[in-house]
Amino acid sequence: MAKRLRKEGSGQKVCSARGILAAAQPRHSVVHICAEQFRRTLQRNPYEAENIIIHEMLHTLGLGENPPAPAEIGPRIVSCCGQ
């Protein structure tokens, strides 16, 4: 199985967008974590932060954004994993 990696991604362009906590491309093994935004969310709502990581890991496994829409992925994760 391919090794999955996470990297501090604050220098990545995607992390400059408001509300982005992490990013991954489908079938790529790296999840870029937007450290400051992620840290604030983790402190405010750890379940949301966990769901973001699961969401991005699904991308590394090949799931694209559409379909399903990003707003659909979060509720699916919550329904399976709780909170």
> For residue 71, what pLDDT is reported?
73
> For residue 78, what pLDDT is reported?
77
Helix (H, G, I), strand (E, B) or coil at 33: strand
- pLDDT per residue as tens, the chain (83 positions): 445 555 565 666 778 888 889 988 888 888 889 999 999 999 999 999 998 998 888 888 888 776 667 677 777 777 767 66
Q: Are the C-beta atoms of 50 and 21 separated by less than 8 Å? A: no
> For residue 37, what pLDDT is reported?
92
> For residue 1, what pLDDT is reported?
43
Give the pTM: 0.68
Cα 40 from Cα 55, distance rounded (Å): 18
